[in-house]
Amino acid sequence: MSVNASLEIANELMNNKEVLTNDERDLCVQFMPEMANEYLFHNPWLNLNVYSEIEKEESDLRKELGF
């Protein structure tokens, strides 16, 4: 895989995927180390650049209300 393709995949992951695998996290750390170290937490890797507590709470409330 070319460097440009890997960088594009890392960018896509950091901007769109909420939970990353170890391999996906490693790719992001390799190509976007500052952003990955700032936004990826725990294992599985929660991407706080994408994850929104507000959206999660709204979803949980809809489930509780039966919607």
Give per-residue burial for 30-56: e unless 16+ CB within 10 Å, then b.
Answer: ebbeebbeebbeeeebebebbeeeeee
Supply the pLDDT for residue 54. Answer: 65
Q: Which residues of the chain have pLDDT under 50?
A: none
Q: DSSP label at 11? A: H
Which one, of 39, 34, 31, 33, lies nearest residue 8 by Cα? Answer: 31
Burial of 10 (0-12, 13-18, 19+ CB in 10 A): buried
Contact in structure between 29 and 36 (CB atoms under 8 Å): yes
Residue 1's pLDDT is 75
Q: Where are the domains of the chain?
A: 3-65
pLDDT at 43: 79
